């Protein structure tokens, strides 16, 4: 039975979520050598990621269209985020950080907790919903956390956030049709936020591959690297 005090005001929890990545999955990924034939090790993680995209193909298309971004961009971010850290531990991190924040009389630390298969910070979701993150109560943070565990809400928030990230750097961009540099920057912003100057990212595009500053855009570059894989998963030519 659900606690009526935690009824979600930001979403309607759906029942068709993709299975969460747990400690057993983590063990299979980390403790076994890669075996593509039997899907052990790294291949097991990739199978999970691929399956998540196939499972939510229509949802990805739906919310990409709503946010006016490319389904390939949303699918690429989802693929990179799915798996890795056990999903059931993320809400527990929120509770711990809320305790820490209670001694500091603010919510900065807990607002930076990321929840959801496609991980998003509590702070970012609040901003996407038009709420000042600093005004969030513990209860509201928990409600957002619960909503992020719903794949439908999670993907919608990611899509809307990606649109805002594109507009942040390229206010006149055709958000549905980005060039490769814009895709790399949008992905890198999703991973690193908007605090760093755009010039740091654009400069990194032209640095030698072994330059440490290329790490600024490594997340975005991975989107380009795996583009054909994502196209195949999404059935896009």
CATH number of the domain enclosing 86: 1.10.530
- What pLDDT is attached to residue 75? 98
Whether residue 222 is contained in a domain is answered as yes
**Interval 54-77 mean pLDDT:** 98
d(CA 125, CA 131): 9
CB neighbours (10 Å) of residue 208? 7
> What range defines the domain where residue 54 resides?
20-234
pLDDT at 3 > cutoff 70: no
Whether residue 93 is contained in a domain is answered as yes
pLDDT at 6 > cutoff 80: no
Work out the pLDDT band at 8, boundaries 50, 70, 90.
Answer: low
Domain count, the chain: 1
**Interval 189-200 mean pLDDT:** 91
d(CA 64, CA 72): 9
- What pLDDT is attached to residue 173? 95
Work out the pLDDT band at 209, boundaries 50, 70, 90.
Answer: confident
Whether residue 3 is contained in a domain is answered as no
Whether residue 105 is contained in a domain is answered as yes
Whole-structure pTM value:
0.92
- What pLDDT is attached to residue 85? 92
Whether residue 12 is contained in a domain is answered as no
- What pLDDT is attached to residue 5? 42
Q: What percent of the chain has pLDDT over 70?
A: 96
Angle at CA 79, nearest 5°, toward 30 and 212?
75
Computed over its alpha carbons, how large is the radius of gyration of the chain? 18
pLDDT at 207 > cutoff 80: yes
- What pLDDT is attached to residue 65? 98
Burial of residue 39 (CB within 10 Å: 0-12, 13-18, 19+) is middle
Burial pattern 4-30, b for ≥16 Cβ within 10 A else e, equals eeeebebbeeeeebbeebeeebbebbe
Whether residue 8 is contained in a domain is answered as no
End-to-end CA distance of the chain: 45
Whether residue 116 is contained in a domain is answered as yes
- What pLDDT is attached to residue 15? 64
Distances (CA, A) of 137 to 29, 77, 148: 37, 29, 17
Tens digit of each residue's pLDDT (9 = 90 or more) over 82-120: 999 999 999 999 999 999 999 999 999 999 999 999 999
pLDDT at 2 > cutoff 50: no
Q: What three-state secondary structure class fits 78?
A: helix
pLDDT at 177 > cutoff 60: yes
**Interval 152-173 mean pLDDT:** 97
**Interval 133-152 mean pLDDT:** 95
d(CA 165, CA 183): 11
d(CA 177, CA 166): 11
Tens digit of each residue's pLDDT (9 = 90 or more) over 219-233: 999 999 999 999 999
Q: How many residues does the chain have?
A: 237
Higher pLDDT among residues 71 and 201, named by residue: 71
Distances (CA, A) of 203 to 14, 80, 111, 198, 199: 43, 24, 30, 9, 6
Whether residue 5 is contained in a domain is answered as no
């Amino acid at each position: 039975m659900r606690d009526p005090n935690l009824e979600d005001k930001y979403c309607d929890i759906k029942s068709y979520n993709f299975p969460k990545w747990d400690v057993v999955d983590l063990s299979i990924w980390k403790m076994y050598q890669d075996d593509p034939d039997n899907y052990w090790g790294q291949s097991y993680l990739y199978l999970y990621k691929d399956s998540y995209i196939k499972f939510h193909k229509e949802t990805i298309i739906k919310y990409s269209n709503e946010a006016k971004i490319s389904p390939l961009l949303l699918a690429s971010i989802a693929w990179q985020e799915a798996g890795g850290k056990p999903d059931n531990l993320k809400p527990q991190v929120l509770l711990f950080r809320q305790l820490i924040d209670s001694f500091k009389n603010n919510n900065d630390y807990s607002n930076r907790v990321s929840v959801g298969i496609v991980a998003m910070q509590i702070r970012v979701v609040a901003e996407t919903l038009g709420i000042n993150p600093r005004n969030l109560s513990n209860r509201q943070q928990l409600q957002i956390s619960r909503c992020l565990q719903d794949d439908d809400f999670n993907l919608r928030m990611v899509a809307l956030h990606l649109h805002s990230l594109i507009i942040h750097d390229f206010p006149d961009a055709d958000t549905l049709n980005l060039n490769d540099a814009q895709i790399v920057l949008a992905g890198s912003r999703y991973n690193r936020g908007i605090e760093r100057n755009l010039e740091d990212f654009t400069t990194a595009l032209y640095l030698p591959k072994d330059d440490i500053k290329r790490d600024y855009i490594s997340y975005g570059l991975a989107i380009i690297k795996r583009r054909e894989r994502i196209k195949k998963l999404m059935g896009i030519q």
